[in-house]
Amino acid sequence: MTTSIFIFLLLFTIQHIRADCQNETSAESTFVYRRVCYFANWAAKRYDNISRLTPEDIDPFLCTHINFAFGKVLESLNIAPYEEDDLKGWTANSKGMYERILKLKEANPDLRVLLSVGGWTHASRGFNEVSKSAANIKTFVKNSVKFLRDNKFDGLDLDWEYPGAKDQGAEPHSKTGYTKLVKKLSRVFKREAERTGQEKLLLTCATAAARHRIEAGYEVEEVCKYFDFVSVMTYDYHGSWDGKTGHNSPLYAMRNERKKFREWNINSSMHVWEELGCPKEKLNIGLSAYGRAFSLFGETGMNNGKPISKKKSSIGVKASAAEAGKYTREAGVLAYYEICELLQNNPSNRVFWHRQMSVPYVASKSLWIGFDNVRSVTLKMQFLKEHGYGGVIIWSLDLDDKTGETCHEGPFPIFNAAKRELLILPEHLADRNKKCSDENVTVTSEHLHSKTTQMGDDLLAYRDRISLALCANRHEDIITMSKTYLTTFRDIPPNDRQMLYSTYQKLILDFNFKSYWKLISTGLKDKIELKYLESIENKIDYLCNDIVEMIDNYFLASKLNEDLDIIYTLRQRADFLFFNSSIARPATKQIILQSALRSYTEGVERSRLTLAINEPERVLIQLRKCACEVQLSNGSCSSETYFELVNEIQQMKSSSISCDPQLIGQMESYRLELDKLRFHIFSFLTIDERQVVEETCKQWYNLLRNSHQLAFHSVVQLHALIEDVPVPTKLGRVLPRWTRLTRDSSKPAQAIDPRPYGYIQQYLKRFRSDIKHLHIDVEQHDVSCRFVLCQLLTLFGPEQCSQGRQIRTFSVRFISHNPLLMKSQDIIQALRIFFQYDASKNHRHSLISCDLSGLTISLDDDTILLLTKNNPCLRKLNLQDQSLVCILTPFCILQIIDMLKSLEDLWIDMVSLSDEFILMLVMEEENEQKTSKRATLKHLGVRIRREEKFSDEIDISLWQKLREKYPHLKMTLNFGLTTPLNRIRAYMNANLRLPVQTLIINTPIPVVDELYLAADSFAGTLENMHICTSGQWAALTRTPNFTKAVVYIAYQCIHLRTLYVDVALNPDAIEDIYRLHPHLKEPGASKLLLTDCPTHTINPEDMGDLFG
């Protein structure tokens, strides 16, 4: 029974492989790059023989597809011919254009002819009406199928230029409507083919190349699922509408090009489509058989290809549309044969080659033309093949030299140049075609899985099956057949394993880049299918584990292995595990990394015994081992591993100086990667951690002692320490050892002992003129920590920094309880010394960010005014200290606003605000010069606490004026634990219309009504919401009405990005919230719990008159 099922499944698999191979390639099962040619129906109506092109003039084998341009989309939801003679000829006996173009298929049955609907002049007419509703789409699709079948077309090419483009008449629904239309067309085409037995109608499109058009008009990843191929119109990047010269279709960007135009080239446009999720094999690049011509103004003409003016390049000089060609008769456009004629008739018109853009251009004193010739077309086709794109479209057949008599390059030189290059297949595709088309390879289940064949004979059959699967691009079947082979013969020869490794890597990368990362990057704007995201992670996890299991069970124990095979297999095993760790859950990540590290380590040991010093594989394994250790240790690898790696690179380089320049270059790249890794590791270590690193070895000692760059970002942590047993270092020194105290530890006396912090002081003293970012954490309950903090702050005062300092961002934070409460005058005095450094005369030395919110001492007016006076370039200032009472006066805040003209982000307490503060922000200055210097406030953080009950309310009209003055202002409202309830309601008043972006409510009591008020008042602006509760009060807060209020917040606030709730919610409520905002399932985006997780612990007697 098992055998028969197995044979049935195998036959089924082989049938699908052959079917896919035939569908994907031509009738002979060969791979062919698409060559899509546009035939313009008006071309046959020209009178001269040079420009007139009829269907009979076209070589039937020149193209793989011909798009007939164009058909019309009517508002009656029908497709109609553009010209009267498309359906029927002008006379009774003459044939229509449709019939004449389709006659080419008699000579070439593999040719496919599609009807292209739309076009530039058609714009969005008709398409808007079609895409307006599902009913309209259904009617249009039904009519389209009938029209295409009645006229014997092979498919439909949508040339809507462009959905989402308001300047082209597209309506707001056009982007989503386009997706719905494409989806419906694809499904109906497929069902119609299954029902009638006819070949499925092809569905293709011509699309924009500029990023802004793409993002505005297409849901790329979705529509690419349904198109058979997507043709990107990578031409018309520049033209006379720019008012200056620019190439029609550059392959690459020009160096130093303006940011706006940096992506206006084929290379960038194609990468945009890939980046947004379209498979590259479905993409066609665009070529034009015409050039964009410019008439140059006066002295900005060219002399021997060089500008007469002082501009360095002929690109970007002022110009207008050149005179229309005598055949095409459109200003600014010249057909390829017209350009050839201009070059032949006027010797001053010379062709130059732009190396950076890889395209030709014509230049003379009065004329400039950007166009393509045989050379540039050949380069673009090579680019197409190198990047794995599926084909090319060319506009249009009538613009090429049809007879070859004008340009003397043979008939259709542009089209034939593309054809010649695309017929030369890359090696892997040529091999694939050979194996796919070999009629002698007849694969049956008996042939593939004969129990009587020897391993050597069946290995050939296995390779044939793998080649056939590769032909059909069915990677899953390669894995299935390899597993079947392993079950029978227990091994695959080392040379054949590479295909299996590549297959797993291909599938993993496909899942990772085409689905997983694209889903994350675009999902927050639109929809994010979290179940799909999870399935992608599971597939990557399964694939990594599957190949590792195969390596463990079969390959590592293989008798066919040589030493090099074992080394390579170990690295492959570790690589798959290391990759898997990037998407693994935290619980399993460490386990996976440790397993990878063991494989890398064993690979290193074996490579020492087997591989020559100049073998790159040896260094590569060592480098990856170091990277793995960095992941495991959160930022550092062991000195032993590091120096092994350094020695490997140095030995490898020294042993190959005279023999292999390419290898030397590879070693330099390893060294650069190593230097980056090392600098990255050291840069985020705190200063006390750098002391430990210094004592590891002399090289690291010298690096940390002399690296000024590492000092740019300095993090100081002052912990309470006690002396322990001294420890010898690797450099031979014996250093005192200090152990961190816990609250339960006992310390002999509260005497000041600065010895544990000597290295920190020396380091900051040595590099104080280099430090740009200074962040200090202090356990301020310890007297030694407070003493050292004061010394460090004084170190950066004006007396000791006479040579200048460069600190741009500064923060200090207390990280333990504060027994001194309001008596920390020594720290206040040290802060004043730190702020006395006067940067008002040299703004490069001014602080731009100062965060004092981590202090548990009250900041006074004198200290803050000293800070603002000497640092006029401050942009961010956080004054919300953690003291019990705010003593900053409204006068102080007014002075801050008056002095800090660049202030963008201010965090203060509501008690420090006043009507005058708002007035100063909103009033119009009479002096225009002063008005231009007024601070443009972008964010205002306001904390409201118990003392607010004693202050006056700010006039509602002033809040409204502030909002009008700064329409982009965002606010953070933070209601403290002791905020009176009536004050919470007052600031959530809908009449205030505060632009609240972040709302934090610390509360021990239910705030149901307040949440409803917040949802209604801040619906259009609220992005972040945090509802904190307090210990034993959580049960009081946890009510059905509270849960409903939280869900209402999620329903009303459409821009919600984060939601933290410390009170338990029921599962239904959590599910509703995630349904409304799926991105809240992302790590760190929300905290929605089924059990209480209180943020605070509070005693009832501390509540005071909380209820106001």
Among 235, 249, 238, residue whose Cα is nearest residue 321: 238
Nearest to 201 by CA among 158, 145, 252: 145
Measure the CA–CA gap between 378 and 653, rounded to whole angstroms: 39
Is 711:770 a contact under the CB 8 Å cutoff?
Answer: yes
Task: Judge contact between 371 and 290, C-beta under 8 A.
Answer: yes
What H or E segment, with its residue span, contains residue 591? helix 586-610
The token pair at 768 is 């104080």
Which residues have CB under 8 Å from 470's CB, separation 6+?
432, 435, 478, 499
**H-only helix segments in 656-802:** 661-683, 687-694, 698-706, 758-767, 783-795
Q: Per the structure block, which two tokens stand in for 989?
A: 């008043």
Q: How far apart are CA 525 and CA 76, in angstroms?
A: 34
Active site residue 695: no
CA 768, 861, 713 angle in degrees (round to 5)? 20
Beta bridge partners of 985: none
Q: What is the rounded distance in angstroms from the CA atom of residue 323 to the CA atom of residue 201?
A: 42
* Nearest-angstrom CA–CA distance, 810 and 800: 18
CA atoms of 582 and 596, how far apart (whole Å) = 12
Do 128 and 170 form a contact (C-beta atoms < 8 A)? yes
Contact 959, 994 (CB under 8 A): yes
Can you state the percent helix, strand and coil of the chain, rounding each to 5?
50, 15, 35
Identify the DSSP state of 394.
E
Q: What is the DSSP string of 281-314?
A: GGEEEEEESEEEEEEEPGGG-EETTEESSS-S-S
Of 161, 219, 263, 948, the active-site residue reads: 161
C-alpha separations of 632 from 537, 590, 596, 1105 in Å: 21, 7, 10, 51
Element containing residue 496 per DSSP (H, E): helix 494-509
Please check whether residue 322 is in contact with residue 369, taking contact to mean a CB–CB distance below 8 angstroms: yes
Say if strands 65-73 and 79-81 run parallel, antiparallel, or are unpaired: antiparallel
Distance separating alpha carbons of residues 525 and 506, to the nearest angstrom? 28
Give the separation between CA 1043 and CA 1038, rounded to whole angstroms.
7
Question: Is 218 in a helix, a strand, or coil?
Answer: coil
Cα 610-612-617 angle, rounded to 5 deg: 85
Half-sphere exposure of 119 (CA within 13 A, CB side): 20
Full 3-state SS string of 883-898: CCCCCCCHHHHHHHHH
Taking the C-alpha atoms of residue 118 and residue 877, their distance in angstroms, rounded to an integer, is 56
Active site (catalytic) residues? 161
